[in-house]
A = this chain, B = another copy of it.
Amino acid sequence: MAITQILMAKPNVLIPLTVLSERFAAAKSTISEDLVVVKEGFQLSRQGYIETMPGALGGVRYIPDLDGAEVGQFLSELAARLSVKERILAGGYLYMTDLLFDPAVLRPLGLIFAKIFRSQKLDAVVTIETKGIPLALVTAEALGVPMIIIRHGNKVTEGTSVNINFVSGSSQRIQTMSLSRRALEPGRRVLILDDFMKAGGTAIGMIQLMKEFEAHVVGVGMLVESALGHFPKLVEEYQALLKLTELDVSGRVVVTPVVAFAQ
């Protein structure tokens, strides 16, 4: 019981068996037997799983995960919560901020993105301020990697930075994005994540900025992609969880789960 608690309190952290053995004043063989029971518990609870690594540098770690059935149900419910006319704002925008900043909504979203991209062996999750930050953080935590936030314009408290200009595909306005030289070492494998994509101009900008850091972009994830308007998508490969298919200022809005995801 206490072993489960220690593992779950530090998701993705490899805990050596010797640490558990000392902590509970038990032989390593006893700890190993306990871990079998912990593993069975996770098969029953479906709240993730544990990985054990043998050898001197080995140990055990907890990988948080969301059951496939729960993913489908959660995304359907989220799509329904977004498909209400009270969320329609002037200018044809959809109000999503309350959900994007709610830990109870974010935690499952992080687990879903982690489920999709874990096999890519990521080193970091990258996003651009502001609304995608919480989403990137929960995903980074579920994957056990740091988050990197690209800023708008240049910030004095970040030291030397790399700036690039980009055109948000839908607004056609030139903007600047900036990342501190210190933020990312060369050669890292990164996932780009954002809350909303229209044409993908911002995502293209982030991909270009990552090239300046010699990073490998191994995935692009979006919470919602818009199917409205006639914006050819600038990004070829991305994975959205939800799609905005209708938004009419007279009061109709439809968001649907992107079912292709459920594996």
Would you list which residues of chain A between 89 and 146 have a CB under 8 Å from chain B? 89-91, 93-95, 97-98, 101-104, 106-107, 129-130, 133-134, 137-138, 140-141, 144-146
In the assembly, what is the distance between CA of A42 and CA of B13, in Å? 19
In the assembly, what is the distance between CA of A148 and CA of B102, in Å? 9
Does A95 contact B158, Cβ atoms closer than 8 Å? yes
A33 CB, nearest partner CB in chain B, Å: 13
What is the total number of copies of this protein in its complex? 2
Does A107 contact B141, Cβ atoms closer than 8 Å? yes
In the assembly, what is the distance between CA of A106 and CA of B103, in Å? 14
Give the dominant DSSP class at A's interface.
helix
Nearest B residue to A157 via CB reads: B93
A32 CB, nearest partner CB in chain B, Å: 16
B-facing mask of A229-261, CB < 8 A → 1, else 0?
000000000000000000000000000000000
A127 CB, nearest partner CB in chain B, Å: 10
In-complex Cβ contact of A5 among B41, B94, B129, B158 (8 A): B41
**11 residue pairs bridging A and B, Cβ less than 8 Å apart:** A1-B4, A1-B44, A9-B48, A9-B64, A90-B159, A93-B156, A95-B157, A102-B147, A106-B137, A107-B141, A130-B133
